[in-house]
Amino acid sequence: MLRKRLTAPSATATTTATATTTLRVLTRSLSQSQFTMATQQQQQQLRNKITLYVDTVSPFAYEAYYVLRHDAVFRNVEVSVVPIFLGGLMHKCGNTAPINIKNKDKWINVERIRWAKAFNVPIVSDMPPNFPPLTLSIMRALCAISASEGGAANDQQQQPHLTKALDALFAKYWVEGVPTHQPEVLRSVLGEVFGAAEAEKILAEANTPGNKALLLQNTDKAFDSGAFGLPWMVCTNGSSGATEGFWGVDHLGQVAQFLGLRDRQQQQQQQQQSAGWKSVL
């Protein structure tokens, strides 16, 4: 009787098989990783984006910031906030501040209240003291905070320190009427947000030549993109890739329409959170 001879696999054969299996697993894992990365990159490219230029002196910049930050319509939009010096922008484009134009100086106070009510934005009824204040020190401090987080390349979710600072400074000035432009008040507000030691670091960095240059660069960037006032919003439609600039809180309806958010808002039926949208859509 012939017996079948059972031969144990050699060590070399075992090693080769193990290596082959490992290579297949790694290849499959790499392919999945590459697919995931490609999908994430594609989703990133398809996201709607808004670059919002602000200065805390502007009530309309505050209102636009508040809406973009809190309204559910913009929840899935990548919003990047860039601090600039409005006085520098106005000078660069030869614009005249509304406060220096007869009748318009009174009209802007009425208008800011109208839009605040339309968009459910909390705001002080009377103009804050010494309006418009010189906000150069505030905007330099915000630039220092922004630079520590990588500048305007990131959206609000990746600008947590800048967002916290803006939340506090906007609320103090435009809701409570606190003169945030005064050095001791600015120091106090930053201290409340970041702690006294960190606030001192921010204020020290704010006055460095590099940070002063950054504020100028941000202001020039706003001007080069077409800005002549605030709020200025550079918007990119994630589906088409088209980019356009929009000025004014009263043009947020056009922003939503340009980004294709109008139908989504209607489908979600979140009228209780967007009560003022019918006035601009």
Please tell me the predicted confidence (pLDDT) of residue 150. 77
Q: For all residues of the chain together, what is the average pLDDT?
A: 85
Of 63, 73, 71, nearest to 117 by C-alpha is 63
Q: Which of 131-140, 203-212, 254-263 has the lowest mean pLDDT?
A: 254-263
pLDDT at 6 over 90: no
CATH architecture of 48-279: 3-Layer(aba) Sandwich (3.40)
* % of residues, the chain, pLDDT over 70: 74
pLDDT at 153 over 90: no
* Residues 87 and 136: beta-carbon distance below 8 Å: yes
Domain boundary assignment for the chain: 48-279
- The pLDDT tens digits of the residues spanning 192-243 come to 999 999 999 999 999 999 999 999 999 999 999 999 999 999 999 999 999 9
CA 273 to chain CA centroid, Å, is 20
123 vs 2, 45, 226, CA distance in Å? 98, 35, 28
Q: How far apart are CA 257 and CA 60, in angstroms?
A: 20
Instruction: Name every residue whose Cβ is closer than 8 Å to that of residue 116 and which is 6 or more positions away in sequence.
Output: 59, 63, 122, 123
Confidence of residue 46 (pLDDT cuts 50, 70, 90): confident
Please tell me the predicted confidence (pLDDT) of residue 174. 98
